[in-house]
Amino acid sequence: MNSEKLTALDGPISNWSAEQLLPLLGKILPESCILHEAEDLGPFECDGLSAYKAPPMLVVLPDTKAQVIDLVKLCAQHEIPLVPRGAGTGLSGGAMAVSGGIMVSLTRLNKIKAIEPELRRAVVEPGVRNLAISEAVRPHGLYYAPDPSSQIACSIGGNVAENAGGVHCLKYGLTVNNVQSVECILPDGSLVTIGGPCLDAPGFDLLALIHGSEGMLALVTEIVVNLLPIPPVTRTLLVSYDSVEKAAAAVGQVIGAGIIPAGMEMMDKLAIQAAEDFAHAGYPREAEAILICELDGEKEDVGAAYDQLVEVLEVSGATDIRTAQNAEEQRKFWLGRKSAFPAVGRLAPDYYCMDGTIPKRNLPKVLAGIAALSQQYGLPVANVFHAGDGNLHPLILFDANRVGELEKAEALGGKILELCVTLEGTITGEHGVGREKINQMCLQFNRAEIEQFHATKRAFDPKRIFNPNKNIPTLARCAEFGAMHVHAGEIPFPHLERF
């Protein structure tokens, strides 16, 4: 769904103009923090999902937490929509501008405020880059585990907003599993801390609710992240297969054998060849699929797990098993995988990155289904994904300059997500719903569940100021979409107004 369709369906939510807002902003922010000229606003018209674009009316870049609090209070007082934005690497249109609203970029809040090696934690502002945390704590023999492919650029605040994962999330979990607490501003301008210094903080456990809330409930200003000791031993394997189905089945066989690799990634032939051409990682161009498996930990533990892993992979039908012989070869194995998105971008003028998750036992079925859909729609699909936790990232190749191809890519992406739901999965693993998957929410959740999502949003943000029109569909939208669970000729709840 492109931005024109989104605007037509959802309609304006605010009648504020830039001329009205600039004097208000000028009272609380210096001129250097406010962008309003067209050439300055261009970089903020989309996130990483560049197929959807909506130029913001105004962008503010606060220098301090106090300025952010003042901004939120201003928006609350005048009911001005506020869209938070991190580094702009998101992939679901969650940071798209809304009509009559202000976009707030938190990239200037980029300080690592404290490193506490003895407690294995760091206190960081939301604009700190993911990779910068590990770089800063490496002298202490520590690192921050979640490592999205965009970790060189993505911000920790954005990671919290989307509950980002990464190639090592199989063993070490998502962002929510690696954060102790967050300090955040609620939509009324109050500053609160959620979580605490111990595993079981007093009161309701709202920390998981904030993670993945996509800027709809609170605006994060400080994060306390957990740090881990750098593993003394790592062994990385590159495993080749002559069929995608065998590689997919091997994932379940490895996990079923009781082996939990630190990371377990899969790429199909199209992705392999693109990554090899781009990164020269030494990938086997003739393979139909590869797995990248990494074990880490103490020497004795890794040694025993390695022998067992190789045995399982041999039985699974692997045609070749290579183990990185040194740190440089290990780096190349991962470089190819983490370069997969830009590498695939060289194959076509545009690509559309999806994000569904399914139980590992259904990996062969979903990959066969994606192949059939690719053929049906006449668009190539390169598959790159976190195989160990069933998080798929099919990349649909198309050319937006050809009439109808964007719509065809969107339709194919929607069908892939529907396939994931049919196979007991979900429409997103780590990229979020944003504006991209809001229709598929109608397929996954029933009427009562969607109403509960709205109730949660109202509890935090009764005026619908923070990132409106994202993440949660109205029942009216679901009725228009023809969703099986909620339309059924029912009249939508009157308080769930159509966005």
Place of tokens 């809330």: 213
At 179, the pLDDT band (50, 70, 90 cuts) reads very high
Domain boundary among 87, 105, 123: 105
User: What would the mean pLDDT of 213-230 be, rounded to a whole number?
Assistant: 98
Distance in angstroms (rounded) separating the CA atoms of residues 161 and 176 = 10
Which of 165, 192, 191 is CA-nearest to residue 178? 165
pLDDT given for residue 203 in this prediction = 84
Helices 244-256 and 363-377 meet at what angle, rounded to 10?
Answer: 160
Q: Cβ distance 385 to 266 under 8 Å?
A: yes
Residue 169 lies in a domain: yes
CA neighbor of 236 nearest in space, from 294, 175, 310:
294
What pLDDT, on a 0 to 100 scale, did the predictor assign at position 483? 53
Task: Dump pLDDT digits (tens) for 346-369.
Answer: 999 999 999 999 999 999 999 999
Mean pLDDT for the chain?
92
pTM greater than the 0.85 cutoff:
yes
Residues 116 and 223 in one domain: yes
Three-state secondary structure call for residue 268: strand
Is residue 35 a part of any domain in this protein? yes
Report, as an integer, the average pLDDT of 427-444.
Answer: 94
For the domain that residue 374 is a member of, what is the CATH number? 3.30.70.2740
Same domain for 213 and 118: yes
DSSP state for residue 466 in the 8-state scheme: B
Looking at the structure of the chain, the number of domains it has is 4
CA dist 344 and 128 (Å) reads 28
Residue with tokens 């780096």: 331
Single residue among 342, 360, 395 that ends a domain in this structure: 342
Q: Is residue 418 part of a domain?
A: yes
Closest C-alpha among 138, 111, 135, 132 to residue 123:
111
221 and 247, same structural domain? no
Angle between helices 18-26 and 65-78 (to 10 degrees): 130
Query: Residue 401: inside a domain, yes or no?
Result: yes
Residue 215 has pLDDT above 90, yes or no: yes
- Both 19 and 86 in a single domain? yes
Helix ranges restricted to H, 27-64 = 38-41
Q: Assess if residue 446 is contained within a domain.
A: no
**114 phi, psi to nearest 5 deg:** -160, 140
Residues 469, 458: Cα–Cα separation, whole Å: 13
At residue 397, the 3 state secondary structure works out as strand
435 near 6, Cβ under 8 Å? Answer: yes
Answer whether residue 490 is part of any domain. no
- As a whole-number percent, the residues of the chain with pLDDT over 90 amount to 88
Whether residues 387 and 293 share a domain: the answer is no
Domain that holds residue 129: 112-229
Same-domain pairing of 238 and 294: yes
Once rounded to an integer, what is the mean pLDDT over residues 331-349?
A: 94
362 and 424 co-located in one domain: yes
Give the tokens for residue 76: 């609350």
Tell which of 405, 436, 467 closes a domain: 436
* In a shared domain, residues 39 and 100: yes
| DSSP code string of 285-322 | TT-SEEEEEEEEE-HHHHHHHHHHHHHHHHHTT-SEEE
Q: Is the CB of residue 230 less than 8 Å from the CB of residue 142?
A: yes
Mean pLDDT of 372-386: 96
Question: Do residues 81 and 465 touch, judged by C-beta distance below 8 A?
Answer: yes
CATH number at residue 95: 3.30.43.10
Whether 383 is covered by a domain: the verdict is: yes
